[in-house]
Amino acid sequence: MFPLSTVFSTFISSDSDKQRQKESDAARAAQVLRMRMEENTRARQEETKKRSEQEATRTKVHECLKRADQHIKKNELEAAYGEIARAKEIEPANLYIRAFEERLLQLQGSKHHQQHNATFGDLPMTTEVTIPKPSSAEAKQIAAKVLFQRVDQALAARNLVQAQEEFKRAREMDPYNLVIPGYQQRLDALERELGRLALQEEQRQRTEEKATARVQKTTLNKRQQEEELTEAEETPPNGSLIEAILKLVGSLVSAKAWDQALEEVQGGLKVLPENKDLRALEERLLFLKEEDRRSRKIEETKQRLTGAPAQEVLTEARDQLNSIAKAKTSGITKLIRHIEELVGIKAWNEALQEVERAKQIDPQNSSVSTFEVLISLLKKEQEQHRVEFFADHPSLKNEETPDQGSNSREETTRIPAPPEGGGATVLAYHQSVVNEFWHRAYEQCLRRAWGDGIMSDEERDMLSILRNSFAISENAHARMELEAQWDVYLEAMIEAWRNGAITPDDSEHLDLLRDRLRISADVHLKLERKIRQNILKRGRSALSEIKREYDLLFREQVLGTESRR
């Protein structure tokens, strides 16, 4: 066996070598990147410097030629020659200088001819030939010709930017020159070719980058494999002990000798308490042992139930379960009927108590859950109406009996008592009470869905389910939906005018709500006029009158239209 210090020193040295290698690779990559960035920076600086020098040279030449032109206009030909000479010293190959020089020669010849005529009369000149003075159009054509020559030079040098600049100046100088379309085609062809070459260069760079990345990845994988191989060669001597334990445990697991396998693993943990592989193997063996125990228990139960007595026990148990289910169903049905009766007389608290009893019998019953939600909604609505009623009629608040708030039967007297007699009469009355309950619950759901003026797909699907469950026809749904939309809009208008004036935000909100709820402008104006006449003058007590007139308007606008149809 190797001493422990030797193993640790080997691990530490290998780790330090790897770290140094990674640091050196990173330093080389950073150095290469820095060199490339410096080269690009220098190239850009040189290009900028070159362009600035060319621009300065052109500026100087332009100033010289400008002064020469001024001298020519003043007929100071000697001074003009001096300016042209200075311009030639700055840029000898400039074609503009040649054009000015030719123009100056023509002017000098014309001046000499005039002096001869003044001295000798009509005698012919034998030394020089008179050259006609060019017009301004001819001068522009000469300058354009020079510019087109410079365009040719730039195209030959594949300098697209300079060629486009010279072409632009030549076209401004002589816009009707017949060679312009040809030069334009040549410029377009050069631009396309340079773009194609740039794209090819970009693709080549991408290919090189991908190839470099593949090489780096291959090198990294190779290095990792070498490191793994080195680690495998430098594995401490405890690896042989773990391998022996794993082989022995594998044979014991095949024989389902869980206790012996656990003893072997626990013995290895005593020697190597920090070994994670042995710790994970111990947890796995405990799990397999428990699974094996459960499977054996299930098999034993199946074997006990295969005989005739076991079949009798199963039959008896099944009968008991069926009887319990029937009793539970019967009890739930009776409770639901009782709940419907309590809802019919608006005894909300007693109805909720019966719902709790039904939930104790069958917590998963969907009908019971639906009753609980809808009864809570109706109870809350009745409480809200009661508060609004006494707010409008404060003088009647003292006449309220003490037990009205406890049993929630404020409006019991408004509902007629069940008819006397049996059979179909009582059944029809019971069905009418239940239908009224479902319709009121569905109206509440519609008002909640249209509360913000938009009905979501989820709310629409839920209303469809409730409509099918409550047996509500499409005509009744359309009428209740329209009434709910009107109610929502009326509440929004009352809220907007509550403080005596409407704000721009409230006006914008009402416009948006009117478009969403399809409220006509005529209805809006009638409601708004009535609200302003009542709320602004009499305050809160006018709400009941507004709602009565609103009901009349609704019947006139909607129900009357439906009856005429």
pTM: 0.29
Rounded-to-integer distance, Cα 514 and Cα 528, Å: 12
Q: Where are the domains of the chain?
A: 241-304, 305-415, 426-565
Model confidence pLDDT, tens digit, residues 319-339: 656 666 666 677 778 888 888
Q: Can you give the pLDDT at residue 304?
A: 61
Q: Can you give the pLDDT at residue 404?
A: 43
Q: Can you give the pLDDT at residue 410?
A: 39
Mean pLDDT of 278-288: 84
Burial tier of 91 (Cβ tally within 10 Å: 0-12, 13-18, 19+): middle
Measuring CA to CA, how many Å separate 420 from each of 33, 344, 429, 448? 101, 16, 10, 38
- Of residues 367 and 135, which shows the higher confidence score? 367
Confidence grade of residue 536 (pLDDT, cut at 50, 70, 90)? low
Contact 480, 446 (CB under 8 A): yes
Residues near 477 by beta carbon (within 8 Å), at least 6 away in sequence: 442, 467
Mean pLDDT of 282-299: 84
Mean pLDDT of 104-127: 55
Q: Can you give the pLDDT at residue 528?
A: 77
- Whether the per-residue pLDDT at 472 is higher than 70: the answer is yes
Model confidence pLDDT, tens digit, residues 187-198: 999 999 999 999
Mean pLDDT of 237-244: 68
Half-sphere exposure of 113 (CA within 13 A, CB side): 13
- Count of CB atoms within 10 A of residue 40's CB? 10
Residues near 245 by beta carbon (within 8 Å), at least 6 away in sequence: 264, 265, 267, 268, 278
Model confidence pLDDT, tens digit, residues 385-414: 777 766 766 655 554 444 444 443 334 333
- Whether the per-residue pLDDT at 511 is higher than 50: the answer is yes
Confidence grade of residue 480 (pLDDT, cut at 50, 70, 90)? confident
Q: Can you give the pLDDT at residue 403?
A: 43
Model confidence pLDDT, tens digit, residues 436-450: 767 777 888 888 888
Least confident of 317-321, 342-346, 425-429: 425-429
Percent of the chain past pLDDT 90, that is, above it, reads: 3
Across 1-15, 21-35, 141-155, the highest mean pLDDT is recorded for 141-155
> Please, where are the H alpha helices in 237-275?
238-254, 258-271
Model confidence pLDDT, tens digit, residues 361-381: 877 776 777 777 778 877 877
